[in-house]
Amino acid sequence: MIYGIGIDIVKIQRMKDASEKWGRKFIEKILTENEIEYCFDKKEPYPSLAVRFAAKEALIKAIGSEIAVNMKDIEIINTENGRPLIKVSGKLKVFFEEKKIKHCHLSLSHEKEYGTACVVLET
């Protein structure tokens, strides 16, 4: 059964501007060390930063406003073949257990100006 659906879109230039203005402090506030490493291993990190931010926002929308979420309790990881997955921790992991959320489906996409993410939560 579907628990929630969320979608978000982020302008890639917005992520670049925020990163340049606030530096690593901004990035460390929203991404885990693994995510930062993944993004900055790429020639152009900002599309990957944008879709990860969009994925976190989409997940927050999918759960509604039932709990306050720390962005770093959401980690976007990739399987060996590149498939993106969401890993939760902290209060969010407890929330998933209480609500019996078993599957978190994630789709990411980026194109020239925008990064987008869609999340579907299943019990």
Range of the domain at 10: 2-122
Catalytic residue positions? 61, 110
CA 69, 75, 81 angle in degrees (round to 5)?
A: 150
List the CATH number of the domain containing 99: 3.90.470.20
Q: Quote the pTM value.
A: 0.94
Task: Specify whether the CB–CB gap between 3 and 62 falls below 8 A.
Answer: yes
Number of domains in the chain: 1
The string of pLDDT tens digits covering residues 69-90 is 999 999 999 999 999 999 999 9
pLDDT band at residue 15 using 50, 70 and 90 as cut-offs: very high
